[in-house]
Structure 1
Amino acid sequence: MSGPIRVLIADDQSLVRAGFRMLIDSEPDMEVVGEAADGAAAAELARGTRPDVVLMDIQMPGTDGLEGIRRIVADAGLEAVRILILTTFDDDAYAIEGINAGAAGFLLKTTDPAQLLHGIRVVAGGEELLAPGLARRLIARFALPSGAAGDTVFDRLTAREREVVELVAQGLDNEEISQRLHISMATTKTHVSRALGKLDARDRAQLVSLAYRHGLVRPPGTR
């Protein structure tokens, strides 16, 4: 990507937006291109500013973040825009719905600044982002009952591809997987892409769901 990452902030609290703006604008490779107080304003502003990433709150008065996501995703002129949901613990169901609507990932609003900046860079680079603890909790709450461990759905994967899917399900991004397995980023991306194709998965979030539903990994606190 040439030039700084262009970020649009959608949150109904002006102090929250101001804090995010200060953090993002302090980074040499990022700039805030606009602020919106609800989902409708975010979608409209996105058409005018063409951001790389929209930080989208979910629970906002007026038009909520879920509708904002749907409007952005439905706009053919905004197909390059990536949406990162910022959620709280009580918003788990909304986070799942947001991912299904087309968001690239989600983070807790309580995440530390460095992780938020990292998350923006990850989704701007074309990856999905699943906050580790929240991802596991979401799948444990909303996934269908798990199948038997070693379910044959994963037999079509190579051993390395299965290993990569396990790490995706643990919430690791491509850079972290590359470091863990001591392989290049290009190799990691290839394994993820092949796993998506072989499992007919739409995106990274669906990979996580498959991994939990079919017993490749287990929700925390289970055996």
Structure 2
Amino acid sequence: MNTPAIKVLIVEDDPLIAKRYQMILSRDKDIECVGSASSGYEGTMLAALNKPDVILMDIELEDKQAGLRATEEILNYMPGVKVVMLTVMDTDEAVFRAFELGATNYLLKNMPPEAILQAIKDAYADRPSLHANIAGKITREFQRIKKSEDSLLHNFYILTQLTSTELEVLELLMKDYTRQEICKLRHVETSTLKSQINSILKKFGKTSVQEIVPVLRELHIPQILAQRKGK
């Protein structure tokens, strides 16, 4: 029986560096590149959709905190993913921040191909790549998973739990249709719509539509749903 390939997602805003990583990964039959993103937001979305085993995450993307925010988002709701941070400077601060956010390891961007491939395999196998006398301490003391109700992955996950009917109702609510208008469009009684909305609110853990819609709009959920439908 063949061992499944290690699925790797690259999140790097420099196209030349991203291309170099893709070429390096293509040389190893045990590794499969499942996507490449150029921003923290795109990396978060691709992580949710492609479910990689390991992510190579640039610390600085569209801004200096984007890679860190994306890492935190991903590890909050996909704790099994291994994130290897990419940086240009080997500093104590870089090491601290990487592990504080829950990353498995960090790499200098100009490391040789063999080191990059080995780091991916070490991360996948839960083998610490840092010096043994500090690897365990850093992992135990600084790896944390923070939860945020307004995060992209949190809400994206809840959307996958909605029924097709609930999702259609939510989309109409995000388009500012009134309840009366939704009842007419869907040819349902007010009591039926009320029951559907209550089910949506329960799944989101909220008590009113006004607590959900603004957050979903800010996260561009309506556009994401439209794109998935091919609109």
Contact residue 88 and residue 108 of structure 1 kept, 8 A: yes
Change (3 A) 1:25 1:5: same
Cross-structure match for 2:37: 36
Point out where structure 1 has 5 or more consecutive residues left out of the alignment.
Answer: 133-167, 172-195, 207-223
Change (3 A) 1:90 1:126: closer
SS in 2 for 1:169: helix
Kindly state the Cα deviation for residue 95 of structure 1 after the two structures are TM-superposed: 3.4
Q: Are 2:16 and 1:52 equivalent residues in the alignment?
A: no
What TM-score do you get using the length of structure 2 for normalisation?
0.55
Cross-structure match for 1:74: 76
SS in 1 for 2:48: helix
Change (3 A) 1:9 1:101: same
Structure 2 residue identity aligned to 1:40? Y
The ranges of structure 1 where at least 4 consecutive aligned residues each deviate by more than 3 angstroms after the TM superposition are none
Q: Are 2:139 and 1:203 equivalent residues in the alignment?
A: yes
Quick one: distance in 1 between partners of 2:107 and 2:90?
Answer: 13
Deviations 1:147-177 (A, max 9, x none): xxxxxxxxxxxxxxxxxxxxx0377xxxxxx
SS in 1 for 2:100: helix
State the identity as a percent: 29
Quick one: distance in 2 between partners of 1:3 and 1:90?
Answer: 33
Aligned equivalent of 2:133, options 169, 191, 196: 169
Structure 2 residue identity aligned to 1:12? D
| Rg larger for | 2
Quick one: distance in 1 between partners of 2:7 and 2:62?
Answer: 25
Quick one: distance in 2 between partners of 1:110 and 1:98?
Answer: 18
Cross-structure match for 1:89: 89
Kindly state the Cα deviation for residue 16 of structure 1 after the two structures are TM-superposed: 0.8
Deviations 1:91-121 (A, max 9, x none): 6524321211100011111211101110000
| Number of equivalent positions | 141
Structure 2 residue identity aligned to 1:72? I
Change (3 A) 1:108 1:202: closer
Quick one: distance in 1 between partners of 2:11 and 2:121?
Answer: 17
Cross-structure match for 2:124: 124
Contact residue 90 and residue 108 of structure 2 kept, 8 A: no
Kindly state the Cα deviation for residue 204 of structure 1 after the two structures are TM-superposed: 6.2
Structure 2 residue identity aligned to 1:39? G
SS in 1 for 2:44: helix
Quick one: distance in 2 between partners of 1:15 and 1:29?
Answer: 23
Cross-structure match for 1:159: none
Quick one: distance in 1 between partners of 2:111 and 2:59?
Answer: 16
The two structures, once aligned, show a CA RMSD in angstroms of 2.5
Point out where structure 2 has 5 or more consecutive residues left out of the alignment.
Answer: 143-231
